[in-house]
């Protein structure tokens, strides 16, 4: 919402400075977004041309002697054809910035003659496009004064942001009302006389709605004015419209725009001679066409309200008038319309047709119903004032709703909600100045809501009115009551895991990424997604069409982008949501990560001590296990199973699970076809841990750890090598070894893996070191031999392998 | 006696010139060994007169001691020389680099770090952290928050919708973290003090708008909390978060459907340089929106607005992260450019705490 200071002062008598008004507007909720104080026009003065001689070396130039009021004439070279002795105009001295040509003047030398300034054209002062000559003021204009003040160029322009609840502030008069309430002056009451009418309105209007849709147009006012003469609107009106960024068109059109901004009351003016028969306000018909003032044709439907005559639709209710019945310079008879529309219907019409107008903006927020008739009178008066003519009687179809909301308002609500005590007289005064009707004097007031405040429904709304006018600044911060001396744990298990997973992966040298929750459909499908339930109906682009079923495609694509920039060895992770459906429980908390190229735990790229090996399935497995450990899982208790989802390499991926129904994580090298589809080259390994699947830790009575049992007896280590089929899992073998003697065996680890022709195709040799930890007595050779035999038997039984000779 | 002196000189000379331990050993054998020169002399003592023996015995014993000590001394010298020579041979270039440890190389995203900072501050004020789903219903995102159908305020939220399901219901991506207010009120009795950090979505994209961004919602519901408390909480938060002694904040009346009264908050700052400084300067920067929970929202949560009251606020996490740490472009947050992550990210062991300071 834009307006100028002089415009505001039409409605508000005030001594306040510009700064005070600006600050107050912001503090009462009418946020000043910008203020153009027009200071750039200040240096221009009114000056008189004393003499004008022909330039000695140029036919079209004149050398002027200009008096800017200080009695010290200066020499100015000027090319304007109308430059002559005696002319009074706008002068800019050297050093002045001239906005219309974006130039800072300096002392010039034009064909050998010095020029100390410039006489300006209207274009040079951004007043119009006029540049055929310099500005000529009346002969009696006093010289030496400010040209900007004389021409009204110094009128500061406000731009304020109006929140959707304040349609009353979408007119300058409403803003003046708020300023008065805030002590910034006194509102100049608007007095609108009913226009003198000498004949009945020749055009009738009918509201044609079903009973349940009558609220689409509660009232419609119309007045005929005959014998008008259209033309440019007066200078002052044009200047104000220009200042707020509107293009003056003609008096009849400018009047409607001016009243929209001045009083927040949109009006429409039809060329009455182009209207055929009476007007009908009705719903549009399916497929009905309408040519609007913007020159575009719109196809209408029954959800849209229109104003029609015998020719068809003449206007889109509350949104935009029609091209065919619009006013032109030849218009002699007009119909002035002031109507009321249903805000939601106007909003929907504007949205459906993609039309934004000042009228729509106001109607969808709520136009003061009580001002419908006065608005019509005011519009008609302005038409007669600016264009002449004679008014008919007015017609009002429908019924103008009367405000009937009265709020029972305990004054104590102000303190309850804001913490400040505002004296009740002050509360009453504020409400009254804002136009609320207040009755009662005790603790509970009856407050009648004014017709221009559709946003005020209940007690908190009134508290807000009192608070914003009384001053939010006056509320002193008060501490919240303390809940206790020492803060308790506030994070849920899930939140704790979230943080632990992030910190542990970063501590493994990975970089935390946050990638989009929406990914391209083909990526989603590659990772088991792309369901109808997780598809966006209005994606911002096809690259962001589906909610992700996995963190991996986003991370792999990110690795690809980094690779394109020359960073091939990257380790990325993300801890965030995936979406397996559209229900809350379908959103899973995942820790996922990838490593590309040589980005291993020990570091990436080449190093003088070690070569740069490629990442593989075991890097991803280690990452996944470390997340589980960080989240409190004892990973010695989990099952590692071969195989996983089909975006992984089928022979190089696995699952970490607690039984087949509870898969905690998957890991592996990415399938070459997956990478090809994502257009990223490998090698890439990745993992995903489902943090929600990790069981809640069991609640324990105390935090005491289990006792530490240390044996003084020396541990014994024995090595074994077994030749087994390739298909035998190493985990099966170590589990068999460990299970051979549960008391003595404290650890089994694999220290060598050998595959080669010497032990036969399809065979491998796995060498293990078994640690025996005696607890009661030192082991004898016989004890050790007995355990060794058990180990060998157990492994051979479980794996079908043999002890390697 | 002269021959003893001569012998001593000659043995000591041999010891001195022994080049290694082997040569020294042969000197020991030829002097002190069973058939060594000194041992042979010792054997002659038996054939001497007592007077001679009295003179020669001590002299020979002295010779033996001198030689023994000289050998030991020489042996030590030779050992040290040998070690020195070996160590010199083993010298390597210590300026060669070592590999960076993983915990030095890894980085936490600024959003995660800032969420941890926020958590530390609000935990201290007795708040818990609440969460909710990204895919929401129209009810939780709008209706329950007092955005009636067709309300113009809905248009300010450029909403992403999902495809309608078989019942014609159309889910959406939450446009703010406020739905979690309702979900929390449904699940919990007052007093409620929660903050809700999370992802939010709007179909909007430029340097300062991203279709996905992060918000932190706060909600307090009890029987007394008012605007004065709200001001205190937010001032304390901003002071702690930006790690300045003082902040000056300006609360302006505004409008949000789910609060009444509603306020927007500006923070005073100095933007004259390349960075934004808080607690000084003459500029106002809008930083968050807040207000008293609207009676209709309290009713949606199942509470009587004449008995319960409270306040709520919403603040952009990305935005305050950018303001505090100086990232210029929001879009870079979600691009996963390793150069950006290494530069703006945080070390995994830099945990924000109040006792150690939020940032180092």
Three-state SS letters, A393-432: EEEEEECCCCCCCEEEEECHHHHHHHCCCCCHHHHHHHHH
Is A399 in contact with A210 (CB distance < 8 Å)?
A: no
Q: Give the phi and the psi of residue A544 in degrees, each rounded to 5.
A: -130, 55
Segment (H or E) for A447: strand A444-448
To the nearest whole angstrom, how far is the Cα of B275 from the nearest Cα of chain A? 22
Sorting pLDDT into bands at 50, 70 and 90, what band is B121?
A: very high
Interchain contact A492–B (C-beta under 8 A):
yes
Look at residue A483 in the predicted model and tell me its pLDDT. Answer: 65
Q: Pick B237 or A756 by higher pLDDT.
A: B237
Look at residue A158 in the predicted model and tell me its pLDDT. Answer: 95
Give yes or no for residue B150 having a pLDDT over 80.
no
Q: Pick B327 or B338 by higher pLDDT.
A: B338
To the nearest whole angstrom, how far is the Cα of B170 from the nearest Cα of chain A? 9
Report the residue from A348, A511, A540 with minimal CB separation from B345. Answer: A511
Give yes or no for residue B209 having a pLDDT over 90.
no
Look at residue B207 in the predicted model and tell me its pLDDT. Answer: 67
How far apart, in Å, do the first and last CA atoms of chain A sit? Answer: 93
List of chain A residues whose C-beta atoms are within 8 Å of the C-beta of residue B131: 494-495
Interchain contact A414–B (C-beta under 8 A):
no
d(CA A164, CA A344): 13
* Residue length of chain B: 360
To the nearest whole angstrom, how far is the Cα of B220 from the nearest Cα of chain A? 10
Q: Which residues pair with A309 in a beta bridge?
A: A312
List of chain A residues whose C-beta atoms are within 8 Å of the C-beta of residue B199: 517, 576-577
Interchain contact A245–B (C-beta under 8 A):
no
Which residue in chain A is spatially nearest to B115 when comparing CA positions?
Answer: A499
List of chain A residues whose C-beta atoms are within 8 Å of the C-beta of residue B182: none
Look at residue A23 in the predicted model and tell me its pLDDT. Answer: 94
Q: Among candidates A713, A732, A716, which has minimal Cα distance to A724?
A: A732
Look at residue A341 in the predicted model and tell me its pLDDT. Answer: 96
* Contact: A514, B108; criterion CB under 8 Å: no
d(CA A788, CA A721): 12
CB–CB contacts below 8 A, A to B: 272
Spatial CB neighbours of A27, under 8 Å, sequence gap ≥ 6: A182, A468, A471, A472, A473, B252, B253
Residues B22-33, mean pLDDT to the nearest whole number? 90
Report the residue from A490, A562, A586 with minimal CB separation from B123. Answer: A490
Interchain contact A516–B (C-beta under 8 A):
yes
Report the residue from B107, B132, B212 with minimal CB separation from A512. Answer: B107
Is A590 in contact with A690 (CB distance < 8 Å)?
A: yes
Look at residue B50 in the predicted model and tell me its pLDDT. Answer: 87
d(CA A542, CA A793): 61
* Contact: B251, A579; criterion CB under 8 Å: no
Look at residue A484 in the predicted model and tell me its pLDDT. Answer: 67
The overall average pLDDT reported for chain A is 92
Residues B36-49, mean pLDDT to the nearest whole number? 85
Report the residue from B116, B232, B254 with minimal CB separation from A480. Answer: B232
* Contact: A31, B164; criterion CB under 8 Å: no
Report the residue from B106, B231, B351 with minimal CB separation from A511. Answer: B106
d(CA A207, CA A397): 7
| Residue A237 Cα distances to A152, A233, A445, angstroms | 12, 6, 43
Look at residue B168 in the predicted model and tell me its pLDDT. Answer: 82
Q: Give tens-digit pLDDT for A232-267.
A: 999 899 989 988 999 899 999 999 999 999 999 999
List of chain B residues whose C-beta atoms are within 8 Å of the C-beta of residue A420: 227-228
pLDDT < 70 regions, chain A: 483-485
Cis before A730 (ω within 30):
no
SS3 of residue B342 by DSSP:
helix
To the nearest whole angstrom, how far is the Cα of B80 from the nearest Cα of chain A? 31
Look at residue A103 in the predicted model and tell me its pLDDT. Answer: 87
Interchain contact A74–B (C-beta under 8 A):
no
Look at residue A485 in the predicted model and tell me its pLDDT. Answer: 67
A197 DSSP 8-state letter: E
Residues B351-358, mean pLDDT to the nearest whole number? 89
Give yes or no for residue B152 having a pLDDT over 70.
no
If you write DSSP's letter for every residue of B231-274 in order, what string do you get?
HHHHHHHHHHHHT-S---EEEEEEEETTEEEEEEEEEEEE-SSS
Give yes or no for residue B204 having a pLDDT over 70.
yes
Q: Which residues pair with A771 in a beta bridge?
A: A717, A747
The CA-based angle A47-A50-A56, given to 5 degrees, is 115
Look at residue B330 in the predicted model and tell me its pLDDT. Answer: 87
List of chain A residues whose C-beta atoms are within 8 Å of the C-beta of residue B133: 583-584, 587
Report the residue from B231, B295, B334 with minimal CB separation from A460. Answer: B295
List of chain B residues whose C-beta atoms are within 8 Å of the C-beta of residue A518: 211-212
Residues B238-260, mean pLDDT to the nearest whole number? 92
Look at residue B197 in the predicted model and tell me its pLDDT. Answer: 94
Is A675 in contact with A556 (CB distance < 8 Å)?
A: yes
Interchain contact A460–B (C-beta under 8 A):
yes
d(CA B175, CA B192): 23
Q: Give tens-digit pLDDT for B335-350.
A: 999 999 999 999 999 9
Residues B224-252, mean pLDDT to the nearest whole number? 94
* Contact: B107, A565; criterion CB under 8 Å: no
d(CA B163, CA A530): 12
* Contact: B119, A603; criterion CB under 8 Å: no
To the nearest whole angstrom, how far is the Cα of A99 from the nearest Cα of chain B? 25
Interchain contact A38–B (C-beta under 8 A):
no
**ipTM here:** 0.89
């Amino acid at each position: 919402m834009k307006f100028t200071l002089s415009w505001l002062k039409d409605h508000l008598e005030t001594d306040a400075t510009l700064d005070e008004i600006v600050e107050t507007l912001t503090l009462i909720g009418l946020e000043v977004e910008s203020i153009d104080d027009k200071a750039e026009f200040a240096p221009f003065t009114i000056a008189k041309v004393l003499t004008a001689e022909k330039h000695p070396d140029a036919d079209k130039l004149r050398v002027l002697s200009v008096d800017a009021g200080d009695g010290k004439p200066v020499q100015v070279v000027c090319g304007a054809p109308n430059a002559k002795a005696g002319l009074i105009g706008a002068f800019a001295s050297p050093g002045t910035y001239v906005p219309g040509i974006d130039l800072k003047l300096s002392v010039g030398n034009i064909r050998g003659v010095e020029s100390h300034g410039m006489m300006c054209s209207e274009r040079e002062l951004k007043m119009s496009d006029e540049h055929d000559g310099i500005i000529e003021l009346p002969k009696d204009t006093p010289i030496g004064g400010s040209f900007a003040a004389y021409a009204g160029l110094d009128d500061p322009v406000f731009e304020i942001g109006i929140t959707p609840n304040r349609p009353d502030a979408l007119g300058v008069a409403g803003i003046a009302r708020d300023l008065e309430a805030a002590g910034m002056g006194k509102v100049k009451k608007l007095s609108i006389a009913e226009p003198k009418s000498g004949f009945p309105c020749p055009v009738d209007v009918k509201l044609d709605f079903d009973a349940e849709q009558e609220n689409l147009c509660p009232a419609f006012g119309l007045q005929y004015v005959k014998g008008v003469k259209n033309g440019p609107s007066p200078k002052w009106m044009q200047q104000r419209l220009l200042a707020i960024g509107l293009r003056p068109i003609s008096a009849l059109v400018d009047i409607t725009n001016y009243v929209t901004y001045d009083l927040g009351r949109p009006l429409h003016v039809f060329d009455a001679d182009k209207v055929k028969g009476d007007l009908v306000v009705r719903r549009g018909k399916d497929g009905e066409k309408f040519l609007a003032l913007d020159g575009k044709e719109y196809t209408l439907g029954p959800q849209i309200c229109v104003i029609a005559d015998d020719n068809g639709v003449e206007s889109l209710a509350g949104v935009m008038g029609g091209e065919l019945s619009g006013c032109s310079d030849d218009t002699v008879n007009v119909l002035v319309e002031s109507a009321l529309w249903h805000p939601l219907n106007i909003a929907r019409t504007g949205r459906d047709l993609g039309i934004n107008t000042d009228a729509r903006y106001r109607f969808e927020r709520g136009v003061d119903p009580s001002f419908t008739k006065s608005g019509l009178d005011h519009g008609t008066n302005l038409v007669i004032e600016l264009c002449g003519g004679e008014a008919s009687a007015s017609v009002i179809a429908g019924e103008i709703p009367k405000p009937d909301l009265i709020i029972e308002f305990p004054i104590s609500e102000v303190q309850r909600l804001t913490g400040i005590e505002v004296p009740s007289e002050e509360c009453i005064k504020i409400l009254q100045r804002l136009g609320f009707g207040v009755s009662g004097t005790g603790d509970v007031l009856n407050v009648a809501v004014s017709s221009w405040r559709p946003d005020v429904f209940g007690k908190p709304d009134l508290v807000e009115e009192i608070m914003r006018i009384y001053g939010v600044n006056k509320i002193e911060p008060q501490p919240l009551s303390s809940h206790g001396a020492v803060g308790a744990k506030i994070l849920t298990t899930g939140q704790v895991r979230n943080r632990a997973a992030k910190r542990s992966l970063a501590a493994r040298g990975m970089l935390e990424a946050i990638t989009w929750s929406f990914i391209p459909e083909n990526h989603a499908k590659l990772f088991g997604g792309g369901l109808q339930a997780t598809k966006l109906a209005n994606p911002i682009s096809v690259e962001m069409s589906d909610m992700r079923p996995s963190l991996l495609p986003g991370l792999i694509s990110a690795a690809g982008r980094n690779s394109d920039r020359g960073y091939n060895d990257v380790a990325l992770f993300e801890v965030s949501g995936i979406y397996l459906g559209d229900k809350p429980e379908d959103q899973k908390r995942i820790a996922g990560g990838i490593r590309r190229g040589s980005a291993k735990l020990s570091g990436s790229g080449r190093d003088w001590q070690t070569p740069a090996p490629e990442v593989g399935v075991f890097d991803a497995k280690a990452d996944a296990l470390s997340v589980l450990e960080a989240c409190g899982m004892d990973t010695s208790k989990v099952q590692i199973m071969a195989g996983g989802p089909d975006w992984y390499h089928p022979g190089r991926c696995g699952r970490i699970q607690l039984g087949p129904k509870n898969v905690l994580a998957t890991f592996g090298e990415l399938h070459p076809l997956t990478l090809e589809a994502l257009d990223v080259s490998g090698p890439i390994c990745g993992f995903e841990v489902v943090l929600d699947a990790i069981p809640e830790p069991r609640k324990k009575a105390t935090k005491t750890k289990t006792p530490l049992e240390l044996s003084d007896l020396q541990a014994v280590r024995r090595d074994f090598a077994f030749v087994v089929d390739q298909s035998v899992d190493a985990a099966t073998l170590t589990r068999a070894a460990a299970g051979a003697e549960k008391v003595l065996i404290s650890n089994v680890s694999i220290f060598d893996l050998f595959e080669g022709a010497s032990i036969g195709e399809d065979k491998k040799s796995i060498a293990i070191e078994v640690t025996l930890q005696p607890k009661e007595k030192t082991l004898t050779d016989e004890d050790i031999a007995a355990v060794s035999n058990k180990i060998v038997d157990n492994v051979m039984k479980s794996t079908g392998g043999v002890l390697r000779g | 006696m002269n021959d003893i002196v001569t012998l001593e000189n000659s043995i000591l000379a041999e010891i001195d010139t022994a080049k290694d331990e082997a040569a020294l050993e042969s000197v020991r054998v030829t002097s002190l060994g069973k058939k060594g020169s000194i041992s042979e002399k010792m054997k002659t003592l038996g054939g001497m007169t007592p007077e001679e023996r009295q003179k020669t015995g001590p002299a020979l014993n002295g010779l033996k001691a001198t030689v023994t000590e000289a050998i030991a001394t020489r042996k030590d010298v030779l050992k040290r020389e040998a070690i020195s020579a070996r160590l010199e041979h083993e010298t390597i270039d210590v300026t060669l680099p070592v590999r960076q440890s993983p915990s030095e190389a890894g980085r936490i995203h600024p959003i995660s770090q800032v969420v941890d900072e926020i958590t530390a501050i609000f935990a201290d004020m007795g708040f818990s952290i609440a969460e909710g789903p990204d895919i929401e219903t129209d009810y939780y995102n709008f209706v329950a928050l007092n955005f009636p159908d067709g309300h113009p305020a809905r248009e300010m939220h450029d909403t992403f919708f999902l495809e309608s399901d078989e019942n014609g219901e159309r889910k959406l991506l939450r446009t703010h973290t406020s739905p979690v207010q309702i979900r929390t009120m449904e699940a919990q009795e007052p007093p409620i003090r929660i903050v809700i950090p999370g992802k939010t979505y709007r179909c909007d994209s430029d340097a300062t708008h991203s279709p996905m961004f992060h918000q932190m919602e706060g909600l307090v519901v009890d029987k007394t909390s008012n605007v004065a408390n709200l001001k205190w909480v937010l001032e304390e938060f901003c002071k702690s978060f930006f790690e300045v002694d003082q902040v000056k904040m300006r609360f302006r009346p505004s409008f949000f459907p789910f609060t009444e009264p509603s306020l927007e908050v500006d923070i005073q700052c100095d933007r004259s340089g390349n960075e934004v400084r808080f607690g000084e300067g003459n500029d106002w920067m809008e930083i968050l929106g807040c207000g008293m929970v609207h009676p209709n929202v309290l009713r949606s949560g199942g509470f009587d607005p004449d008995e319960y009251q409270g306040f709520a606020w919403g603040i952009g996490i990305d935005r305050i992260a950018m303001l505090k740490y100086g990232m210029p472009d929001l879009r870079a947050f979600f691009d996963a450019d390793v150069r950006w992550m290494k530069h703006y990210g945080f070390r995994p062991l830099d945990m924000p705490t109040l006792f150690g300071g939020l940032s180092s």
